[in-house]
Structure 1
Amino acid sequence: MIEISVTCDNTDRGLVVASLLQGFALSDVQHSVHTSESKRVHLYATAAPLASAAWPTPDEAYADAPGVLDEIGWLTRTAADWHDQNDREYYLRKAAAYDRIALHEERNGPSGCETETEVAEATAFYLLDHDRDGDGNHGGYPYEPDHPAAEDNPRGYVRQEYALWRAAQGPTPQHTHS
């Protein structure tokens, strides 16, 4: 394992984390605001060199994610007061929530006529389309949204992008719902 410490502008935190993820499997990413310059941030991470460009597993992608019920609550509140139809965070979090629900279904068997797996695939494809047509505001490592591997595994793409997004957000409080 490698310990990494980076100081950067707070606005560049996501870009720095995404760049580090190109060469390392990061865990335990933490940040603290630099005391003398409030626009600067220190990032600390434990890292291991990447062995291959594999999709994150669900456990890796959603390790520090809020509980599914918390995410559904956030999605509901955001949709009720939504002004930006191009809000990538909303589409990403929605696709990740449906992916997590589908994972539960896949372990326990289908529960309805339109399976959660089908909904997860549809929201994942929507995120892919949004990212292809968007402003480039996606992690894209190791797979860009127009890469054939992303098209072949849209839920893997959601996990990749969610893991990158969560790492760039910094630590969050623990939630009790799953």
Structure 2
Amino acid sequence: MFEIRVICDPDDRDRVSKTLAAAFTTVAVRQQATRDGWRTRLYVTADHKPDESWPTTEEAYATAPSIIREIGWTAHTAAEKPFGTRLGREFWLRKAAVLDRIALTDEADAIPSDAAEVATEAARRLIELDDTTVICDPRHYVRQQYAHWTKHQ
């Protein structure tokens, strides 16, 4: 997320707001007069629009095993490694994906939980492991990477 400040003529407010909304995902525009009183300051909280080529949740997890099976796989994989052994990318990807799926289920059922927070942290761990910079929601990155991984298995 980032902030955009625009100084424009009051008559241009709507056109500028619509243009920004077309280019970015935006929150409501806040407006204030400039010190001279002749122009308007617009403040917009914005984020990049999601890349349309990224898979939907349904596409990303279409062929995923059940949540129970994935929890079992991640638990078994973590348990069989000696303490202190670095777990590979597949482990972190599958763990982040199953946590994302749990969070999605909780969100859909309006169940109050910290699943979304936990899923986001797991996604950040994957991003860190991949040594990449992501400017979108970390969970979107997990879905993209999971879809790519299952396609190339």
Equivalences, count: 101
Alignment of 1:58-73 (within 5 A): 58-73=57-72
- 1:165 aligned residue (140, 149, 152): 149
Structure 2 counterpart of 1:174: none
Q: 1:102 matched to which residue of 2?
A: 103
Matches within 5 A, 1:71-110: 71-83=70-82, 84-110=85-111
- CA distance in 2 between counterparts of 1:160 and 1:126 reads 15
Asked whether 1:127 is paired with 2:134, we answer: no
Structure 2, gaps ≥5 residues long? 1-50
- Matched letter for residue 141 of structure 2: Y
Which 4+ runs in 1 deviate beyond 6 A? none
Return the letter of the residue paired with 1:105. Answer: D
SS at match of 1:152: coil
Q: CA deviation at 1:94?
A: 0.2
The higher radius of gyration belongs to 2
Q: CA deviation at 1:69?
A: 0.5
Amino acid in structure 1 at the alignment position of 2:60: A
For the residues of structure 2 that align with 1:55 and 1:116, how far apart are their CA atoms? 22
Structure 1: give runs of 5+ residues left out of the alignment: 1-51, 133-144, 170-178
Highest RCO, 1 vs 2 (Cα 8 Å, sep ≥ 6): 1
Q: TM-score, normalising length from structure 1?
A: 0.53
| Deviation sequence 1:69-124 (CA, Å, 0-9, x none) | 11001001101012541400000000000000000011112344xx1000011100
Q: Is the 8 A contact 2:78 2:87 kept in 1?
A: no
Residue 56 (structure 1) shift: 1.1
User: What is residue 140 of structure 2 aligned with on the other side?
Assistant: 156
Query: 1:153, CA displacement in angstroms?
Result: 1.3
Aligned to 1:92, the other structure's residue is in SS state helix
Identity, in percent, stands at 45
- Given the two structures, how large is their TM-score scaled by the length of structure 2? 0.62
